[in-house]
Amino acid sequence: MYPVHTKTAQAAERPRTGERIMAAINRDPLTAPHAVRNDAILAVCTAALATAVALLAGHGSRPDALGWALLLAAHVPLAWRRRRPLLVLLLVLAPVVPYHALDNNHGAPVAGSMIALYTVAATSTPRRTLTIGVLVIGTTLTVNALTNPDGFVELLRITGWVVAVLFLGVDVRFYRQYVTAIVERAERAERTREEEARRRVAEERLRVARDLHDLLAHSITLIGVQTSVAAHVLTADPDRLDRETVAKALDDIAETCRTARGELRTTLEVLRDNGPSDTRGPLAGLDGVPDLVEAARLAGARVEPAVRVAGPVPPAVGAAAYRLVQEALTNAVRHAGPEPAVRVDLREEDGALRLSVTDDGTGPTPGTTPGFGLVGMRERARSVGGTLDAGPRAGGGFQVTATLPLTPATTREGTGTG
């Protein structure tokens, strides 16, 4: 059992190790954590390698005391190579040039010099890297020409190594910039998705709030009116009780409650986490306007509907028109006084659905704080690219007019309605 767990742990560890290695490669060397500590360890290891090469290899004479001092001094600045790449390169070359001029082992300081040169190439601009490369190659060739005039192959080898290291540093720098750009695009896309998700949630919350307001205000207003009718019948003449009228009022209340309960369930179903992605059901449309008219008549209003729409309208526009008529009739029943005359006009004209609901009542009481009904109506009209105006009429009463475009370019189906 234990070996199996050990292998599983090792298998799980390998991807994490690989991810850490790739993160170290992709990370900007100027912002890497523990840079001085890690580079100090690298400098010690490189100095140990240089010492081994100077003792074992035969490229030049073994360093004397001055040669050892110059060789070790060339590796000390590597501990700060990421903080000051160009300065570190100059501090490395300062002892390396006399080290080579004294004909010490030429292979020992190569690793430290190449690390400093690579750091400059990986952190500087291409123009600066090219300038530094030319200066380093020129200095190296000059020193080699003075110490080994006949070493043409050695000149080519040194030049090749310098050019290779410079190209490697530039390539790593471009690769890091490419990775950074990809990460930034991914983060920007993620932020965009989150903002879009928040926007959709806010729109859905606003839609549910509008639907709840329209539904509850309409239903409660009708129930209140029907209850008042039943109460009036019961108290007006107790000796001659009109049971038929009371029963009809109670039946109307029950029907209003059943209708409101069904619409409420449909409206709130979208908030269920375990429901399907689209649980709103079919949107209410112009075919539901006769039911609104009948409900308003039961509440005491004298409603005259006029619907002149030849063809089908987009579902979003039909739902918006339904809710606008519902709210306008609710306001008329609530504020226009007893038995108001209300006219509902729906017609298709110039590629738009034009809606008008007028009454001859008294309108809202002056000085009262307006509710959210008119605000919600304007928002609902704007959700399909339309406009709405509402206010008192010149000859008395109240009027609501709206223009809802029917063209697909301005209609956003399913937005803010339902």
pLDDT digits (tens, 9 = 90+) for 162-202: 888 888 888 888 888 888 888 888 888 888 888 888 887 77
Rounded Cα distance between 253 and 260, Å, is 10
Rounded Cα distance between 27 and 122, Å, is 12
What mean pLDDT comes out for the span 356-380? 73
What mean pLDDT comes out for the span 213-240? 70
Dihedral of alpha carbons 237, 242, 247, 250, sign = negative
- Using the 8-state DSSP alphabet, how is residue 275 labeled? S
Rounded Cα distance between 354 and 308, Å, is 10
Spatial neighbors of 244 by CB under 8 A, at least 6 apart, are: none
- In terms of average pLDDT, the best of 17-21, 188-192, 222-226, 295-299 is 188-192
The per-residue pLDDT of the chain, averaged, comes to 77
Give pLDDT, residue 22. Answer: 60
**Is residue 69 within 8 Å of 120, Cβ to Cβ?**
no
Give pLDDT, residue 44. Answer: 92
Give pLDDT, residue 272. Answer: 58
Dig out the tokens for 84 from the structure: 């000051």
**Is residue 93 within 8 Å of 133, Cβ to Cβ?**
no
pLDDT greater at residue 302 or residue 418: 302
**Statement: residue 412 has pLDDT above 70:** no
Give pLDDT, residue 233. Answer: 66
The per-residue pLDDT for range 309-342, each reduced to its tens digit, is: 877 888 888 888 888 888 888 888 877 777 788 8
What mean pLDDT comes out for the span 15-30? 60
Which of 129-143, 169-183, 275-289 has the weakest average pLDDT? 275-289
CB atoms under 10 Å from CB of 350, counted, come to 8
Residue 403's beta-bridge partner residues? 354, 387
**Statement: residue 243 has pLDDT above 80:** no
Which of 73-87, 193-207, 343-357 has the weakest average pLDDT? 193-207
What mean pLDDT comes out for the span 398-406? 89
Dig out the tokens for 106 from the structure: 């030429």
Give pLDDT, residue 196. Answer: 83
**Statement: residue 45 has pLDDT above 90:** yes
- pTM of the predicted protein model: 0.45
Spatial neighbors of 262 by CB under 8 A, at least 6 apart, are: none
